[in-house]
Amino acid sequence: MNPREKEASQSPKTKKIELRGILLVVPTYLWLIVTFLIPVISVLMLSFAELHPVTKNIVSFPTMNNYLTLFTNLDYVVVLLRTLLLTVAVTISSVGLAYAVAYFITFKILKNKYTILLAFQAPYIASYMMVLLAWRLLLGRSGVINSLLMSMGLTSGPIELLGYNAFSVWLVLTATWFPWLILPIFVSLEKIDRSLLEASQDLGASPFTTFLKVTFPLSLPGVFVAILFVFIPTIGEFVAPAVVGGTTGLMFGNLIYDFFLKGFRWDIGSAFAVCLLCIVILAVLVLFRKIGFEKLMESL
Amino acid sequence: MKKTNILWSIVVIFAIILAFSPITILFLLSLNDSPALPLKNFPTTKWYEALFQFPGAMESIVNSLMVAGVTTLVAVVLGICGGYALVRTRFVGKSFFTGLLLMPMVVPYIIMGISLLSFLLRLGMEPSLITIIIGHILLAIPYATLVLTSRFIGFNISLEEAAMDLGADRLTTFRKITLPLIMPGIITAAILSFIISWEDVAMAVLLAGSQQTAPVFMFSLVTKLPKFVPILTAMSTIMFAFAIVLAILMRKAERFSIS
Amino acid sequence: MKIDVELKNVTKKYGEIVAVDDVSFAVERGQFFSLLGPSGCGKTTTLRMISGFETPTEGEIFIEGKPMTNVPPFKRPTNLVFQNLALFPHMNVFDNIAFGLRIKKVPENEIQKRVKEMLELVRLPGYEKRKISQLSGGEKQRIAIVRALVNRPAVLLLDEPLGPLDLKLREEMIVELKRIKREVGTTFIYVTHDQGEALTMSDKIVVMNKGKVVQIGTPMEIYEKPKSKFVADFIGGTNFFEGKYTDGAVEVDGLGKISIESGAHVSKKTLLLSVKPEKICIGKKLKKVDNIFDGKVTESFYQGRAITYKVLLENDSLITVVAPSYGMERVFGIGEKVKVGWNKEDARVIT
Ligand SMILES: Nc1ncnc2c1ncn2[C@@H]1O[C@H](COP(=O)(O)OP(=O)(O)OP(=O)(O)O)[C@@H](O)[C@H]1O
Ligand SMILES: [Mg+2]
């Protein structure tokens, strides 16, 4: 505690400042507590309860039944595994592609770097839904791509891979996310002192070794931010699978959605949500540990 | 050297195609006879005409504007208060507050959405535009507050003291000195909040009742009435044009407030 | 004489840190009054208490005879020129200067007139429409000063306004400030850590150290008759000699006797003497000087107007000598044997 802070608890004038501070944060505080903290905690509680399907009254508490439902039903486990797999795949491919583009912009382009950077964000001025819609039309057994290929006589029948399925979900999520990830990676690449790279080559390292031993490690903060950016929304995704996933591309988020909005089984849905939250927390903790919270916030 | 250059070109061109082709094609299709290539009867405005006839379509755009407008207003006001408090004052539990503030940024929308939904339903609230607004404000608060916090950090307090020294009371000082100087931050926060709300499908889908925002309208049409999807090409093109106009206007305002 | 500002036993504590410790002084109307002291001695804190941004922990401040406790900054008849100037970046020069007048709802044509007068006062006519970012350092300084002055405060407070300027500009601004002061006649309280500035401009100086007032006096008194070791050293630097007093002279170990003026200090046994560097003459042979000692030059700095020598005396103490370059035969080299000396009245006894 520095002397200035110590003073806070003493003189009447700074008491006033403290009061003003509290008054100013009260609305935000309340908002966060009422619309975020309490609801999330109540979902946590709900996941250990059994609700009456109609009245929503608590029938029994605590119970692990909701979690058992999840882990004993093979269908659910498959969806969970698919979600994890898809999330990891999307994270790798979108971060990888974003890294390539960011690297290209940083080191291969000399003029108008920032214009190019900005251009990559432009399609998303529109909206997420618009991009999904575009992909919906492009993909599908009789979508734009398949029908174009067939009318040109390149394939005799529709390419199944380009139908509405898990592959499409992966493709669409990668395509939607990677442009957002270019910026944080670009920032951390741009920060690297060029003389370090020259020094490395001067010491006899090949360009590839230089990349592996110098450039890449130094750009890791940006990469971690990018991973965080794409991982969290992807693992909770339910909109893209609903639009381009067909029946085989559904994700865990769709299950939660159905339990809450279609089946009205809040208790089971809550257990699913808590599982998802645990995975997210775990991932965030691992990332934070890897790089340190401070550094991560810095590169945000 | 040559070989790596070719490799780079392929990767970058692939990235550009992946990022830009979908919406370009969407735009072309909105003026096409059917949602398929090659183009036929191009250009035609039939989907735009159909869109204006379609029940609920234009309404949902108006709803989106309203929701985004209210969200922006509330988030910016809360952001100014929060940013000021975080930078200029001390209060117990400041670090708890900061942690709580950042948390919504790392929790998936689906979890926040269903939590909020079940909570609001339990309180007896019916899903409506208001519930969407409540959710969107939650999404926008962290960003608005962070932007304004950094603006306040860069703010030299002696400017305010100078105004008071020259005879201005607290209110006048805020109006004439503080507000104009944090204006760029306010505009950035407003742009961010607006986009967050305008873009959002996930939260809105979870919290929407019978009144829908534009993305929710599009989502429910795609998933429930796929044969009407072509009119959405027209709708999203209109929204895109609208968003670009808005973005340009706001940039202008930002420039203006900085100079 | 009317007293414009008076501090009575003012103390300011930040937690355990005592920034200002039992400070009392009175500033007369029309005075150019300086607060002088090293960095961190509490000058800014004192000034901020006078202008109302800090409240004293103890003691009271009077301005024009009225107690200022509970009077907020915007109701005090003082105006402050900030250490970092604090010109409003989103307003042009005119709007900056007119700010205070507009708050007071002075009629617009009167504002026009007064701003114009002020710009003429600082010799920047026609600068009304300039943006703050288009001003040079010295111009900013002047605008900041007239932004405060235009309100016709009873007291103008200035917090190291020349701090960031380079040497030449600083000297110009010192002349400028003196002229402005003469023309407007307002009471000035000027904060600085630069003794040169304080000595040149002030009618009266308060020297502060570690939150306390150590001496109050005219520039001449402060310089010529320092009452403490701190003041003697802080103002212009000095050479100290310590020794036992025996009839009319101080016996310094290893050096010999230094004769001093007979005064009232003789009651003490050990005395501390201060001899200012420029009061010491240096040469191969010295005549008509009361105290003469042998020494060896260890360093010499040629500075144009003067030459500064470091001279090692026989008792192994190093003294500083500043010799004017006027009438000088040559610069003594390092290692050269010289004689140094001073007259009795230039050795000041520090009590
Ligand atoms: N708000 C504060 N909280 C705690 N300590 C403070 C505060 N303001 C000043 N101090 C301390 O009080 C002492 C006096 O500070 P002050 O700013 O008055 O010095 P100063 O004489 O103006 O120095 P400088 O020449 O560097 O401007 C310093 O030790 C400083 O650290
Ligand atoms: Mg100071």
pLDDT confidence band for A294 (50 / 70 / 90): low
> Which band of pLDDT confidence, cut at 50, 70 and 90, is reported for residue C20?
very high
Pairing of strands C291-302, C337-342: antiparallel
Query: Is residue C147 very low, low, confident or very high in pLDDT (cuts 50, 70, 90)?
Result: very high
- CATH code: domain B56-258 is 1.10.3720.10
Q: Rounded to a whole number, what is the distance in Å from the CA of A5 to chain C's nearest CA? A: 9
Q: Residue B226: what pLDDT?
A: 76
**A232 — contact with chain B (CB < 8 Å)?**
yes
Whether the per-residue pLDDT at C265 is higher than 70: the answer is: no
pLDDT, chain C, mean? 88
- What is the band of A12 on the pLDDT scale with cuts at 50, 70, 90? low
Share of chain C above pLDDT 70, in %: 97
A50-104 pLDDT, tens per residue?
A: 888 777 778 887 888 889 888 888 999 999 999 999 999 999 999 999 999 999 9
Q: Is the pLDDT of residue B56 over 70?
A: yes
**Does B2 have pLDDT greater than 60?**
yes
Query: Where does CATH 1.10.3720.10 sit in chain B?
Result: 56-258
Estimate the share of chain A in helix, then strand, then coil, as percent rounded to the nearest 5: 75, 0, 20
Q: Does the pLDDT at position B50 exceed 60?
A: yes
User: How would you class B102 by CB atoms within 10 Å of its CB: exposed for 0-12, middle for 13-18, buried for 19 or more?
Assistant: middle
Chains contacting chain C through 3 or more C-beta pairs under 8 A: A, B
- The pLDDT value given to residue B7: 84
What separation in Å is there between the alpha carbon of C70 and the centre of ligand 2? Answer: 23
Which of A191, A170, A169, A198 is closest to A96 using CA atoms? A170
Q: Alpha-carbon distance C191 to C198, whole Å?
A: 8
Q: Determine the angle formed by the axes of helices B57-88 and B229-258, rounding to 10 degrees.
A: 30
Q: How far is the CA of C2 from the centre of ligand 2 (A)?
A: 28
B90: pLDDT strictly greater than 90: no
In this structure, the residues whose C-beta lies within 6 A of any atom of ligand 1 are A 3-4, 7; C 14, 17, 19, 37, 39-45, 193
What pLDDT was estimated at residue B66? 95
Query: What does the mean pLDDT of chain A come to?
Result: 85
Interface test with B, best of C48, C54, C75, C90 (most B CBs within 10 A): C90
CA distance A149 to A157: 9
* The pLDDT of residue C215: 93
Ligand 2 center to C100 CA (angstroms): 24
Q: For the residues B169-181, what does the mean pLDDT come to?
A: 91
User: Taking residues C195-210, what's their average pLDDT?
Assistant: 91
Q: Which residues of C81-117 are buried (b: 16+ CB within 10 A; e: fewer)?
A: bbbebbbbebbbbbbbbbbbbbbeebeeeebeebbee
Cβ-based contacts of B198 with chain A (< 8 Å): 127
Q: Which of A188-192, B162-166, C344-348 has the lowest mean pLDDT?
A: C344-348
> Helix crossing, B57-88 with A12-32: angle to 10°?
150
Confidence of residue A124 (pLDDT cuts 50, 70, 90): low
Q: C244 vs chain B: nearest CA distance in angstroms?
A: 53
Is the distance from CB of B17 to CB of A173 less than 8 angstroms?
Answer: no
CA C289–ligand 1 middle distance (angstroms): 45
Tell me the pLDDT tens digit for each residue of C60-90: 999 998 998 888 888 899 999 988 889 999 8
Residue B58 confidence (pLDDT) above 70: yes
Q: In sequence order, what DSSP letters do the residues of C75-89 get, joined into one string?
A: GSSEEEEBTTB---T
* Contact: A148, B37; criterion CB under 8 Å: yes
Give the pLDDT confidence score for residue A212 in this predicted structure: 84
Is the pLDDT at B227 greater than 60? The verdict is: yes
Asked if the model's pLDDT at residue C240 lies above 50, the reply is yes
Largest CA distance in chain C: 75
Cα–Cα distance for residue pair C270/C251, rounded to 1 Å:
9
Question: How many CB atoms are located within 10 Å of the residue A19 CB?
Answer: 12
Per the CB < 8 A criterion, the answer to whether C287 and C273 are in contact is no
The stretch A185-205 carries a mean pLDDT of 84
Residue A6 pLDDT more than 50?
A: no
Q: Domain spanning C3-230 has what CATH number?
A: 3.40.50.300
Distance of alpha carbon B118 from alpha carbon B107, whole angstroms: 17
User: What are the chain C neighbours of B167 within 8 Å (beta carbons)?
Assistant: 74-75, 100, 103-104, 151
Mapped onto helix, strand or coil, the DSSP state of residue A291 is helix
* Distance from C-alpha of A67 to C-alpha of A271, rounded to nearest angstrom: 6
Mean pLDDT of B1-23: 83
A124 versus A88: which is more confidently predicted?
A: A88
For domain C239-350, give the CATH number.
2.40.50.100
Atom of ligand 1 nearest to the CA of C43: 21
Interface test with C, best of A4, A11, A13, A16 (most C CBs within 10 A): A11
Q: Which residues of C touch B163 (CB under 8 A)?
A: 88, 99
Domains of chain A with CATH codes: 68-298 (1.10.3720.10)
Put simply, whether B174 touches C (Cβ < 8 Å) is: no
Residues of chain C found within 8 Å of residue A10, distances taken between Cβ atoms: 15
Q: What does the H/E/C string look like for A207-249? A: HHHHHHHHHHHHCHHHHHHHHHHHHHHHHCCCHHHHHHCCCCC
Mean local confidence (pLDDT), A173-190: 91
Mean pLDDT for B225-231 is 82
Indicate the domain borders of chain C.
3-230, 239-350
Please list, in sequence order, all residues whose beta carbon lies within 8 angstroms of the beta carbon of residue A151, skipping any fewer than 6 positions away: B38
Computed over every residue of chain B, the mean pLDDT equals 88
For range A156-175, the mean pLDDT? 88
The encoded tokens of residue B95 equal 């670090």
What confidence score (pLDDT) does residue C263 get? 67
Residue with CA at minimum distance from ligand 1 atom 6: C14
Q: Which residues from B are below 8 Å from A242, CB to CB?
A: 219, 222-223
Q: What is the pLDDT of residues C101-127, one digit of tens each?
A: 999 999 999 999 999 999 998 889 999
What is the CA(C192)–ligand 2 centre distance, in A? Answer: 8
